[in-house]
Amino acid sequence: MTDTILTLDQVEDLAHQTLARAGASEEQSAAVARSTRLAERDGIRSHGLMYVPIYAEHLRCGKVLGTATPVVSRSRASAIQVDAAHGFAHAAIDAGWQDFVAAVRGQGVAAMAVSRSYNCGVLGHHAERLAESGLVGLCHTNAPASMAPIGGSRPVIGTNPFALAVPDGSGGARLVIDQSASAIAKSEIILRARKGEVIERGWALDADGHPTEDAEAALAGSMLPAGGQKGFGMGLMVEIFAAALSGGNLGIEASPFSGPKGGPPGTGQFFIGVDPVAFSGDGFHTAILRLTSAITDQTGARLPGARRVANRKRIEMEGVQVDAALMDRIKTA
Say if CB 119 and CB 89 are below 8 A apart. yes
Cross-strand pairs, 37: none
Q: What positions carry a catalytic annotation? A: 46-47, 188
* CATH class label, 186-222: alpha beta
Going by C-alpha positions, the residue among 180, 166, 193, 196 that lies closest to residue 286 is 166
Say if CB 276 and CB 2 are below 8 A apart. no
What pTM value is reported for the model? Answer: 0.93
Q: Where are the domains of the chain?
A: 4-182+225-281+306-331, 186-222
Going by C-alpha positions, the residue among 165, 72, 133, 136 that lies closest to residue 273 is 136
**pLDDT of amino acid 1:** 65
Quote the CA–CA distance of 13 and 33 in Å, as a whole number: 7
Quote the CA–CA distance of 107 and 119 in Å, as a whole number: 28
Going by C-alpha positions, the residue among 92, 96, 137, 140 that lies closest to residue 251 is 140
Residue 325 identity (one-letter amino acid): A
Say if CB 201 and CB 224 are below 8 A apart. no
Given the candidates 3.40.605.10, 3.30.1370.60, 3.40.50.970, 3.30.2180.10, the CATH classification of the domain at 4-182+225-281+306-331 is 3.30.1370.60
**pLDDT of amino acid 2:** 84
**pLDDT of amino acid 198:** 93
Going by C-alpha positions, the residue among 274, 37, 10 that lies closest to residue 134 is 274
Per run of 10 residues, the mean pLDDT along the chain (length 333 residues) is 92 98 98 98 93 96 97 97 98 98 98 97 97 98 93 90 96 95 84 89 88 91 91 97 97 92 96 96 93 97 95 95 94 93
Write down the number of H helices and E strands in the chain.
Answer: 11, 11
Say if CB 220 and CB 193 are below 8 A apart. no
Beta strand pairing status for 79-83 and 109-117?
parallel
**pLDDT of amino acid 83:** 98
Going by C-alpha positions, the residue among 93, 170, 82 that lies closest to residue 133 is 170
**How many other C-beta atoms are found inside a 10 Å radius of the C-beta of residue 211?**
13
Enumerate residues 6+ apart whose C-beta is below 8 A from 232.
147, 149, 150, 157, 181, 225
Quote the CA–CA distance of 120 and 131 in Å, as a whole number: 18
